[in-house]
Structures are given as structure tokens and as C-alpha cells.
Amino acid sequence: MAYLDSVISRVNPNQPSSGVSPVTGGGLSKDSKFNYGYASSTGRRSSMEDYHETRIQDVDGEMVGLFGVFDGHGGTRAAEYVKRNLFTNLIKHPKFVSDTKSAISESYTYTDSELMKSETNHTRDAGSTACTAILVGNRLLVANVGDSRAVVCKNGKAVAVSRDHKPDRSDERKRIQDAGGFVMWAGTWRVGGILAVSRAFGDKLLKRFVVADPEIEEEEVDGCLEFLVLGSDGLWDVVSNEEAVEMVKPVSSPEEAAEMLMQEALKRGSADNVTVVVVRFFKSTSC
């Protein structure tokens, strides 16, 4: 959640949750190189604005894994649109295999542009974060827009492979100000006093300042890389990177691990929707 009015409309944390049952699931790649699990809960919110996507797909003879967490604000429109279209646009990109980084960056931009075109009939602004992980061969590419987050366990330690896009980040504040915008305190630091993330899909009224340009990090999938955790900010608001990794380490099933992290966030009083994806890599070489 990122809008100021979303903060005001939160369910009282002492009240019971919305009653919507959590969703969990998982799968295994056909080449048995990795498996994954996911868990998602409305939590204490009155509605669900988190989405996630998990795909294993053959692209030009290459077995590809695509995983994403999308956290909407101002409603579900933007998050649902990104879930439905981002990966489809990406795997259609002519450079998806040959230049994956460029394909990811251009697909983010294209998806955001198409979302903006589809928003012409709506009077209320909507937006979404996107934190995605793409597995191509022995490459893991993590792309992020917003404050959902990706963390890996590497050599037994937690390593953040995305940086939260918050308006109080010095480089983000400068970018916004250089574009003619401003950042101010309104319960937390916000773009134009409204939005608590500095990059997102959608948000057409703030689009000049709130871009959908992803920061992309790449890791080699080798014996040193054990697993990946993707989560919406409902997880990271109450669970640190190090805590998440330590909790997942002894749990062999990624579905059970994702559900455990989700439940732990809820137990700790997370006031947001909570969505978690865990991808565990099967070691083929020693570290």
C-alpha cells in the first residue's frame, strides 16, 4: 500500500482479518533445477491488492522460470494488469534470450505505457509495484519497481538483490526534484505528499515523477545460491532480510517456507496484505 488515503482506511489492527482464506501453492521445473512455492493473505486489510505470478515456460527451447510479486495501491487495476501482461510481453520480446536485461527493461516500460493507455476511462489513480525474478539457464535476473523486495540466500547469508524505491532515498529524491516534483512528510515520506513509493507502474497523475524504470541485478545460479525470497512490503515491514533467510533455511518445501513467512508476518502484526514467493535451487556444483 502506498497512497495516503490507503493508510487512513486501514482496518483497525485489533479487529479480525477479512476472513478470506490464504492462498498457497507451488511447483517443480521439468528439468528439476528448482522448485517454488507461494503464499498470499489479505491479512488485516479489508481488501486484497497483492498479486503474484509463477510460471515455468519453454521459450525458444530454453526452460524459463518467471516469478513476480505485485502490490497494488489505489485499487487492484494496476496490479492485476501488470500480473496479466508483464511476463507475456517479456517472453515475446525478440531479445528475451539474447539480451535479457534489455528485454526486461523495455518490457517494463512498454507494459507501463500500455497500462497508461488503458487508464483513460478511470477517474481514480491506481498503481502497482513489481518485483520479478527471471531464471534463464544459470542466470537469475531480478528487476524491481517499488518497495516489494527480493532477497537471496548466498553462501548461507542473506543478500538483498533489490533496493526499495522510497522517496527518501537520496538518489530518488533528487530524480523527483530534477523532474519538477517534491517529496514531503505525511506520516511517511511521500511523492507530492501522496505516494509512499517513488517508482511504480501506473499512477498516471504522478507519472512524470513516479517512473516504472526497473533496477536490475543479476546472480549466477551455482552451488552458492540456495534460494530466493520475493515478498510484498507486508512481509518486509515486520521481518528483516536476515530473519527471512534464517527461517527458510531448514524448510525444504518452498511452499511450506512461503506459508511460514506469511504467517510469521501476520503474527508480528503486519497491517498490510502479505504475499511471499520462495524459489529453491537444487545444487549442481559445490560452492
pLDDT digits (tens, 9 = 90+) for 139-151: 999 999 999 999 9
Range of the domain at 188: 4-281
Q: Would you state the pLDDT for residue 121?
A: 75
Q: Would you state the pLDDT for residue 125?
A: 86
Q: Is residue 140 part of a domain?
A: yes
Q: Is residue 287 part of a domain?
A: no
Specify the pTM.
0.91
Rounded-to-5 percentages of helix, strand, coil across the chain: 25, 35, 40
- 36 against 124, higher pLDDT: 36
Model pLDDT for residues 110-120, shown as the tens digit of each residue: 999 999 999 87
Maximum CA pair distance of the chain?
55
Q: Would you state the pLDDT for residue 1?
A: 52
CA distance 110 to 17: 37
CA distance 49 to 42: 8
Q: How confident is the model at residue 16 (pLDDT cuts 50, 70, 90)?
A: very low
Flag the least confident range among 26-35, 69-78, 169-178, 229-238.
26-35
Average pLDDT for the chain: 91
Provide the number of structural domains found in the chain.
1
Q: Would you state the pLDDT for residue 191?
A: 96
Q: Would you state the pLDDT for residue 285?
A: 62
Mean pLDDT, rounded, for 88-108: 96
Q: Is residue 156 part of a domain?
A: yes
Alpha helices in the chain (DSSP H): 4-8, 77-92, 100-118, 170-178, 233-236, 241-248, 254-267
DSSP conformational letter for 96: T
Q: Is residue 161 part of a domain?
A: yes
Cell 497508461 belongs to residue: 116
Q: Is residue 286 part of a domain?
A: no
Residue 11 reports pLDDT greater than 50: no
Residue 127 reports pLDDT greater than 50: yes
Residue 236: give its domain's CATH number: 3.60.40.10
Residue 56 reports pLDDT greater than 70: yes
Q: Is residue 132 part of a domain?
A: yes
Tally Cβ neighbours within 10 Å of residue 123. Answer: 5
- 33 against 228, higher pLDDT: 228
Question: Side chain identity at 113, as an amino acid letter?
Answer: S
Q: Is residue 255 part of a domain?
A: yes
Q: Is residue 180 part of a domain?
A: yes
Q: Decide if 103 contacts 86 (C-beta within 8 A).
A: no
Mean pLDDT, rounded, for 101-107: 98
